[in-house]
Amino acid sequence: MKFKTPKCEFYFEVDDQILEKELGRDFVPERKSYRCENHELIVPLSDIEPIKRDVGKQGFRDDASIANILQGFRSNSIIPPIEVSNCNTNPGYSYRLKDGFHRYFLSIVVGFKEIPVVINNFKLSDLVGV
C-alpha cells in the first residue's frame, strides 16, 4: 500500500501482507503517538524532515523489524524514541530525521500524528575534537 509523508513530499510503500498480518484491518491508534517510557519530548510528524531514499531503493528491507514495530504499536508497548537533529533543516521543518527510519514511517502508516524524539545535534567536529 502507498502512503505519503505528512507534507506530501513523496510517497512510500509498505507490504500489504505485513500490515494485515501484524495490525489486522481494523487497527486505529488510541493515542497521538506510540508509547515511550519516561519521555517528554513528543513532536508532530509534520515537523520532521524525512530521509529521502534514492529512486529504486527499497525503503523497508527488514520484515522482522517492521513486524516487531507494528506489534509494539498494536499492543501499546514501550518503544524507543527516534533520533532527530535541529541543525541544517530545510525550510518548513524543525527537525531532520537521523535514526528511526522504520518507526517514523510506520507511525505515518498507522495514523499517529506525533512521535517521541531525542534531539542529537552531533557534529563531525565533536568526533574529531576540532
Q: What is the CATH number of the domain that holds 111?
A: 3.90.1530.10
Residues 75-116: pLDDT tens digits?
999 999 999 998 777 888 999 999 999 999 999 999 999 999
pLDDT for the residue numbered 130: 45
Dihedral-angle region of residue 118 (phi above 0 means left; psi in -120 to 50 means alpha; beta otherwise): beta
**Residue 56 confidence (pLDDT) above 60:** no
Q: What does the alpha-carbon distance between residue 8 and residue 108 come to, in Å, rounded to a whole number? A: 12
What is the chain's mean pLDDT, rounded? 85
- Is residue 35 within 8 Å of residue 81, measured between CB atoms? no
Q: Could you give the number of structural domains in the chain?
A: 1
**Residue 60 confidence (pLDDT) above 70:** no
What do you get for the CA distance between the two ends of the chain, in Å?
46
Question: Which pLDDT band holds residue 20 (cuts at 50, 70, 90)?
Answer: very high
Nearest to 85 by CA among 41, 59, 117, 39: 117
pLDDT for the residue numbered 124: 52
Phi and psi at 49, nearest 5°, equal: -75, 120
Report long-range pairs for 63-68 (Cβ below 8 Å, ≥24 apart): 63/15, 63/18, 65/102, 66/14, 66/15, 66/18, 66/22, 66/102, 66/106, 67/18, 67/21, 67/22
Pick the residue with more confidence: 126 or 26?
A: 26
pLDDT for the residue numbered 127: 46
pLDDT for the residue numbered 121: 78
Domain interval for residue 122: 2-52+60-128
